[in-house]
């Protein structure tokens, strides 16, 4: 899955840090290796797994003649350090003890899509208009933008051979978790009230997080154990060695949101989802519901009925419900279904399509529509077609980015209806495809 996403000059090799036999060949000819592995998941024994993985990697790197290891670890200090943060720092020591010169960059919460701490913070803000907050929200951190982390990593790669050891990195602002949540809420236009209480234990906090965030309770507990420790920079060696000028919290959050939207525009959900029906969380708050069906057609034949969707052709299933939704949208000031479509057979990027608009079109593989109806959030409807041995697979994906609690209530209240409509639509699209016959070009 990685090979199609890299440049032609990049060689992709496979290795498993839990299996030492796979690492020696993967590291042959490598001058510098980035170690970005973290075993924290539902398995409670992540400390042992992280230690063993680092030992395997360090030993293999030494044997392969690797000249430098660059490791991204975690800030934090003191006798009460959580098992999560202590494990991240132990990994750095194990790598250094391998005999390969190691640069360990210790960071606080990383602001960017996919960072567990950031996903936890924003999921709380998105979903709770009133938050009963334990003491850890007052803990200070020094959040750093993902772009600045990457700049530090590249700087470590280009640093003199004599450079090794631990370097603390952070953004321009040292703030509390409360301030991080408040800033995220401000940028999302969400008013949030926080009521502090001193009695929410790490275990109760992790279970509470499990109810309202995408995090597994075991992961949530490890994170909560970590956020009770301050993660601020106390050593300025990194700022003196590396030519990096980190941005502040506000700009880091703004960039993370903008970048996520750009990355989403390039996402192929078939890369990440299986062949069966799926309901999943993506990127913290974005909700994804996806279904697929296989038909004995070429991708070109399968794509024809997808191009004809909407307008006078209707939506293949539950057209009466679509009309009701259109009337409700008109009453709320939206476009409803009155716009129809420009042409019954062809589409172009930017075309209005009832209360949708064509955001992406790559015949015969992709059609993505962005919703322009009135919603408590943002929504997309995406169709992907890929060739398979027996013909083609059509994947239909509904994506919703809810705005606050109202958005979540909207999604879950209407999910049973949406599931009936969208699965019925997918079956009808499959039935409408004319298989075994040559197809003509139907898009512009």
Residue 383 binned pLDDT confidence (cut-offs 50, 70, 90)? very high
Tell me, what's the pLDDT at 430? 94
**For 243-274, how does the pLDDT look when each residue is reduced to its tens digit (9 = 90+)?**
899 999 999 999 888 776 665 555 444 444 44
Q: What is the mean pLDDT of residues 343-356?
A: 92
Domain 3-263 adopts which CATH fold?
A: Rossmann fold (3.40.50)
Could you give the residue range(s) of every CATH 3.30.530.20 domain in the chain?
A: 268-432
Residue with structure tokens 């042409």? 343
Assign 3-class secondary structure to 158-207: HCCCCCCEEEEECCCCCEEHHHHHHHHHHHHCCCCEEEECCCCCHHHHHH
> Which residue spans of the chain are classified as CATH 3.40.50.720?
3-263
Note the pLDDT tens digit of each residue in 55-106. 999 999 999 999 999 999 999 887 778 888 888 999 999 999 999 999 999 9
Q: Average pLDDT for residues 133-143, to the nearest whole number?
A: 84
- Statement: residue 314 has pLDDT above 60: yes
Q: At the topology level of CATH, where does 268-432 sit?
A: Alpha-D-Glucose-1,6-Bisphosphate; Chain A, domain 4 (3.30.530)
SS3 52: helix
Residue 426 has pLDDT above 70, yes or no: yes
Longest alpha-carbon distance in the chain: 72
Q: What was the pLDDT predicted at 274?
A: 42
pTM given for the model: 0.68
Q: What is the crossing angle of helices 83-96 and 46-64, to 10°? A: 20
């Amino acid at each position: 899955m990685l090979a199609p996403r890299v440049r032609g000059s990049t060689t992709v090799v496979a290795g498993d840090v839990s299996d030492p036999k796979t690492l020696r060949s993967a590291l042959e000819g490598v001058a510098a290796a980035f170690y970005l592995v973290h075993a924290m998941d539902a398995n409670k024994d992540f400390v042992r797994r992280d230690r063993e993985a680092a030992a395997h990697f360090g030993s293999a790197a030494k044997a392969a003649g690797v000249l430098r290891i660059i490791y991204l670890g975690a800030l934090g200090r003191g006798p009460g350090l959580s098992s999560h943060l202590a494990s991240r720092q132990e990994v750095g020591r194990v790598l250094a003890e391998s005999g390969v010169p190691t640069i360990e960059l210790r960071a606080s919460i990383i602001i960017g899509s996919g960072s567990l701490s950031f996903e936890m913070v924003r999921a709380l803000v998105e979903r709770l208009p009133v938050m009963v907050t334990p003491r850890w929200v007052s803990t200070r951190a020094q959040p750093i933008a993902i772009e600045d982390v990457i700049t530090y990593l590249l700087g470590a790669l280009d640093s003199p051979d004599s450079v090794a050891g631990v370097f603390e990195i952070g953004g321009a602002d040292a703030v509390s978790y409360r301030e991080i949540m408040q800033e995220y809420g401000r940028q999302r236009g969400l008013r949030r009230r926080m009521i502090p209480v001193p009695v929410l234990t790490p275990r109760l906090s992790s279970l509470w997080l499990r109810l309202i965030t995408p995090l597994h309770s075991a992961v949530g507990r490890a994170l909560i154990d970590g956020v009770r420790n301050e993660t601020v920079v106390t050593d300025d060696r990194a700022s003196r060695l590396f030519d990096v000028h980190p941005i502040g919290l506000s700009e880091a959050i703004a960039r993370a949101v903008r970048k996520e939207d750009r990355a989403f525009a390039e996402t192929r959900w078939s890369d990440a989802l299986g062949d069966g029906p799926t309901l999943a969380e993506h990127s913290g708050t974005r909700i994804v519901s996806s279904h697929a069906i296989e038909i004995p057609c070429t991708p070109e034949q399968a794509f024809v009925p997808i191009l004809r969707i909407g307008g006078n052709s209707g939506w293949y299933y539950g057209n009466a419900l679509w009309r009701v939704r259109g009337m409700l949208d008109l009453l709320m000031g939206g476009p409803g279904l009155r716009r129809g479509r420009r042409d019954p057979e062809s589409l172009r990027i930017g075309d209005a399509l009832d209360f949708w608009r064509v955001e992406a079109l790559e015949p015969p593989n992709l059609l993505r529509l962005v919703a322009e109806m009135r919603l408590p959030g943002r929504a997309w409807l995406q169709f992907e077609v890929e060739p398979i041995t027996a013909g083609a697979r059509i994947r239909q994906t509904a994506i919703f980015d809810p705005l606050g609690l109202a958005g979540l209530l909207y999604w879950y209240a209407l999910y049973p209806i949406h599931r009936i409509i969208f699965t019925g639509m997918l079956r009808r699209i499959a039935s409408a495809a004319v298989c075994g016959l040559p197809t003509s070009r139907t898009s512009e």
